[in-house]
A and B are shown apart, each in its own frame.
Chain A
Amino acid sequence: MSAPAAASDSAGAARSGPARPAPSRRRWTDNPHLWFWVFVGPFFLGLAIFVLIPIGWSIWLSFYNAHNTVTPTEFVGFDNYRAMLGDPAFRSSLVTFVVFAAFIVPTTFVISLGLAVLLEATSWGRAFFRSVFFLPVACSYVVAALIWRHGIFTGISSGLANTVLGWVGLDPVPWLSVVHPPWYWLVITTVRLWLQVGFYMVLFLAALQRIPRHLYEAAALDGATGWKAFRYITFPQLRTTSTAVLMLLLVNAFQAFDEFYNILATPGGYPPYARPPLIYLYNIALGSVQDFGNGSAGAVILTLLIAVFALVQGKLTGLGRSES
């Protein structure tokens, strides 16, 4: 909003100036509001049509019995919310994704920070390794999931993982078929780590390069090198980046869909394990069930939950707190 404010200021200045044109001759293109709407309007229109109206509509639907219709007439109050909260499958999907987030967020954080620190410390082949670690980011989640499912973790003995097991004399494991132990988590978490570690590593690398050298020099004089330097210089200096990375990771974890769907869905549907809420809601609202009331209620519950997590995390990590 500062741009149009500045524009109107300068327009005001122009008006008070000596070369001020007569008001009648002022061209319509001088109107600062016009340019505000020309630039912001299309974006705002898109935002309204594709985000704001749908969100509002979704909230409205969540209070209606809306099977196979988006213009329902039967108001049901909080029934859909009660139904969703009472649905053990939905509750278990919420637990699934809290557990998944609790694992994947710190793991990605530690690995990407570790890689960044190692890369920063090495002088040999830095560009090469940076590219190698970053490249998976360019790969689509769907493609990676299919490679993991059909190439690496296929259950037959000729699959890559089973071939490796064969070298050490172990029997092939049907990775995605057995649920005790839940090997499917290994498949899901490794593909996600492979896909996202590189991106956060680059964020950390950029932040590491901004830490002033003299801090390390001064610390070294005081005897702080190695782990101590990391603990007392590097890590605190990375605070803003770390906060942003944690927030992005959390949001990403909560959005889990692509790789879960492409790794676990079968012709018979999606199994009741490792089913993230988005997949469950997708099936309810847009899948065969076509129940927009319950689906929307679930989406609202999920949104509130994400908001709570984000607020708690913001509180704990100090997101948005002023640097002073």
Chain B
Amino acid sequence: MSRPTLPNPSRRQVFAGVGSVAAAAALAACGGNTGRSGGGSSGGGSGSIAQWYHQYGEPGTEQAVKKYAAAYKDAKVNVTWVPGDYDKKSAAALLTSSGPDVFEYGNGPTIDMITGKQVVDLTDLLGDAKSDFTPAMLARMTYQGKLYGIPQVVDLQLMVYRKSLLAKAGVKPPTTLDELIDAAGKLTSGKVKGLFLGNDGGAGVLGGPVLWSTGHDYLTKDNKPAFNNPEVAGALATLQKLFRSGNLLLGAPTDWSDPGAISQGLCAMQWTGLWTFPQLKQALGDDFGVLPFPAIGSSGKQSIPFGAYASCVSAKAKDVEAAKKFVKWLWVDQTDDQLDFAQSYGFHVPSRTSLIAKADKLKSGPAAEAAGFIAKYGHPQTPLLWTPTSSTAFTDAMDKIIRSGANPAKTLASVEATVKNEMKRFA
């Protein structure tokens, strides 16, 4: 759940793509540096391991991961730093025999990578350290009792607000949806809007929080749709009203994942992520506080989504055991590197909970409060069986309800049909 990036594929690439899946695979096969040095050992160890990362925005991250890799003694690790649309590139590369051996993927591999046997079981890598990882995070990457990803760092989304603006308007930080709507109205004056939930009014990002805060979820424990109920429909109807209220910032130059809107004074409260804190601190000093998404209705509880890039091992890795050993070395054993990775460049929470106490940046202020949200209010971003198809259907529905005023109950019912159909693939 790192900062989402906008891929910019050209029409030509896409034509080459949709019409020509095979060409994509062929190109991936012959394209550029895959990170593997052909065959023989060029380093100190017995073989070479190709490791892929997406391009982290913060300076120094690439040098850091290369430094960690270079320190590994048992094999030569070639790090490939992938700019652009990492998810698509890595997914395409996994179709070929020249993809990565070790790669990171948001919230672990997808369910189709697991059932398609593109990734291998990593359950035995955790050992005694298992209890040190957030259980919900591990559960998100576990299918039929087997773990398929080792969380690298945890990110979370939350609400930030300008303390001074709330004090001036006599508004206390909202803990329920009704209070939030009320606060958005009171905080709106002139060009400053009360609340920013993204330029689509929260349609793209608030699905999870709305479900959890009403006391529901995407799927039940036994993977049945759990989102189609009157509370969720009611909450979406409220967001629909909020969208038209004039109290919501719309059309901001940057979207929710960027701190621009609140730090430039366009709004008093904004939904965003932990990764914006260095910039927020720089722009606003101590004038910002943090909140989880407010509770909705009588049975609801405040909530936030969290996610993690996880290290996975490709089933096509040249030497699966060597790749697994490296993953264990770096993301389970090397706690100093993990702390450095989480703290020194971007702004993340270490995935081993024992490291959170050692993280200087998370010791005080809003960051400390935010890190505490994971245990208190946190939910994994989406369940493992919430496939991209289900996700697209649900986000489309959110958008149609919030922005174009579609009937919430009817729209959710049609999503339920899609999700049920999708679940049949894993029955």
Complex: A291 Cα to B253 Cα, angstroms: 33
CB contact under 8 A between A269 and B16, given known A261-B8, A291-B389:
no
1/0 per residue B83-119: CB within 8 Å of A? 0000110011011000000000000001011011010
Evaluate contact between B11 and A278: CB separation under 8 angstroms. yes
1/0 per residue A247-285: CB within 8 Å of B? 000000001111001100111110111000010011101
- Does A156 reach chain B (CB closer than 8 Å)? yes
Among candidates B23, B204, B266, residue contacting A50 with C-beta atoms closer than 8 Å: B23
Within 8 A of B (CB), among A180-220: 180
Could you tell me the distance in whole angstroms from the C-beta of A84 to the nearest C-beta in chain B? 12
CB contact under 8 A between A281 and B18, given known A142-B8, A266-B199, A267-B256:
yes
Within 8 A of B (CB), among A139-164: 141-142, 150, 154-157, 159
Evaluate contact between A155 and B199: CB separation under 8 angstroms. yes
Evaluate contact between A176 and B199: CB separation under 8 angstroms. yes
- Does B200 reach chain A (CB closer than 8 Å)? yes
- Does A296 reach chain B (CB closer than 8 Å)? yes
- Does A77 reach chain B (CB closer than 8 Å)? no
Could you tell me the distance in whole angstroms from the C-beta of A273 to the nearest C-beta in chain B? 8
Within 8 A of A (CB), among B1-54: 3-4, 6, 8-11, 14-26
- Does A286 reach chain B (CB closer than 8 Å)? yes
Complex: A57 Cα to B387 Cα, angstroms: 25
Evaluate contact between B11 and A268: CB separation under 8 angstroms. no
- Chain B hits for A282, CB < 8 A: 9, 14, 17-18
Evaluate contact between B116 and A68: CB separation under 8 angstroms. yes
Evaluate contact between B6 and A267: CB separation under 8 angstroms. yes
- Does B297 reach chain A (CB closer than 8 Å)? no
Evaluate contact between B252 and A156: CB separation under 8 angstroms. yes
Among candidates A172, A256, A267, residue contacting B4 with C-beta atoms closer than 8 Å: A267
Could you tell me the distance in whole angstroms from the C-beta of B309 to the nearest C-beta in chain A? 15
Evaluate contact between B204 and A266: CB separation under 8 angstroms. yes
Q: Which of B121-129, B346-354, B399-407 forms contacts with chain A?
A: B399-407
Evaluate contact between A70 and B25: CB separation under 8 angstroms. yes
- Does A81 reach chain B (CB closer than 8 Å)? no
- Chain B hits for A174, CB < 8 A: 199, 250-251
Evaluate contact between B250 and A268: CB separation under 8 angstroms. no
Evaluate contact between B205 and A267: CB separation under 8 angstroms. yes
CB contact under 8 A between A150 and B23, given known A257-B14, A267-B6, A289-B388:
no
Complex: A269 Cα to B198 Cα, angstroms: 12
Chain B interface residue count: which class?
35 or more
Evaluate contact between A278 and B19: CB separation under 8 angstroms. no
Complex: A285 Cα to B266 Cα, angstroms: 38
Complex: A312 Cα to B116 Cα, angstroms: 43
Name the residue of chain A whose CB is nearest to the CB of B256: A267
Evaluate contact between B112 and A272: CB separation under 8 angstroms. no
Could you tell me the distance in whole angstroms from the C-beta of A212 to the nearest C-beta in chain B? 39
Complex: A256 Cα to B11 Cα, angstroms: 8
1/0 per residue A44-63: CB within 8 Å of B? 00000111011101100100
Complex: A262 Cα to B143 Cα, angstroms: 36
- Does A311 reach chain B (CB closer than 8 Å)? no
Among candidates B8, B198, B405, residue contacting A268 with C-beta atoms closer than 8 Å: B198
- Name which of A173, A177, A273 has the most chain B CB atoms within 10 A of its CB: A177
Complex: A159 Cα to B200 Cα, angstroms: 18
Among candidates B9, B23, B110, B425, residue contacting A288 with C-beta atoms closer than 8 Å: B110
- Does A178 reach chain B (CB closer than 8 Å)? yes
Complex: A53 Cα to B26 Cα, angstroms: 11
Complex: A173 Cα to B251 Cα, angstroms: 8
- Does A130 reach chain B (CB closer than 8 Å)? no
CB contact under 8 A between A58 and B116, given known A258-B11, A268-B395, A282-B17:
no
- Does B381 reach chain A (CB closer than 8 Å)? no
Complex: A292 Cα to B112 Cα, angstroms: 12
Evaluate contact between B396 and A272: CB separation under 8 angstroms. yes
Evaluate contact between B399 and A272: CB separation under 8 angstroms. yes
CB contact under 8 A between A262 and B21, given known A287-B88, A290-B110:
no
Name the residue of chain A whose CB is nearest to the CB of B397: A272
Name the residue of chain B whose CB is nearest to the CB of A67: B112
Within 8 A of A (CB), among B59-97: 87-88, 91-92, 94-95
- Chain A hits for B221, CB < 8 A: none
Could you tell me the distance in whole angstroms from the C-beta of B208 to the nearest C-beta in chain A? 12
Within 8 A of B (CB), among A20-56: 49-51, 53-55
Name the residue of chain A whose CB is nearest to the CB of B88: A286
Evaluate contact between B251 and A175: CB separation under 8 angstroms. yes
- Chain A hits for B115, CB < 8 A: 67
- Name which of B11, B25, B115 has the most chain A CB atoms within 10 A of its CB: B11
Could you tell me the distance in whole angstroms from the C-beta of B139 to the nearest C-beta in chain A? 21
- Does B201 reach chain A (CB closer than 8 Å)? yes
Could you tell me the distance in whole angstroms from the C-beta of A170 to the nearest C-beta in chain B? 14
Could you tell me the distance in whole angstroms from the C-beta of B323 to the nearest C-beta in chain A? 19
Evaluate contact between A69 and B116: CB separation under 8 angstroms. yes
Among candidates B110, B113, B200, B405, residue contacting A271 with C-beta atoms closer than 8 Å: B200
CB contact under 8 A between A268 and B95, given known A54-B23, A55-B20:
no
- Chain A hits for B110, CB < 8 A: 68, 288, 290
Among candidates A54, A61, A155, A289, residue contacting B389 with C-beta atoms closer than 8 Å: A289
Evaluate contact between A89 and B22: CB separation under 8 angstroms. no
- Name which of B21, B388, B389, B425 has the most chain A CB atoms within 10 A of its CB: B21
Among candidates B3, B4, B112, B198, residue contacting A68 with C-beta atoms closer than 8 Å: B112
Complex: A129 Cα to B205 Cα, angstroms: 46
Among candidates B11, B88, B203, B253, residue contacting A255 with C-beta atoms closer than 8 Å: B11
Evaluate contact between B22 and A58: CB separation under 8 angstroms. yes
- Does B393 reach chain A (CB closer than 8 Å)? yes
Could you tell me the distance in whole angstroms from the C-beta of A166 to the nearest C-beta in chain B? 11
- Does A179 reach chain B (CB closer than 8 Å)? yes
Taking A267-B3, A271-B399 as given, write out 17 further A-B residue pairs in contact, using a Cβ cutoff of 8 Å, ordered by the A residue number. A49-B26, A51-B20, A68-B94, A89-B396, A154-B252, A173-B251, A174-B251, A261-B9, A267-B198, A267-B204, A267-B205, A267-B256, A268-B205, A286-B24, A287-B88, A288-B391, A290-B91
14 A-B pairs with C-beta separation under 8 A: A51-B19, A54-B19, A89-B396, A172-B251, A177-B250, A177-B403, A179-B403, A257-B11, A267-B3, A268-B200, A278-B15, A287-B388, A288-B388, A292-B21
Binding site for A on B (CB under 8 A): 3-4, 6, 8-11, 14-26, 87-88, 91-92, 94-95, 110, 112-113, 115-116, 118, 191, 198-201, 203-205, 250-253, 255-257, 266, 387-389, 391-393, 395-396, 399-400, 403-405, 414, 425
Ranked 8 nearest A-B pairs via Cβ: A155-B251, A268-B204, A54-B20, A174-B251, A174-B250, A177-B250, A267-B4, A288-B388
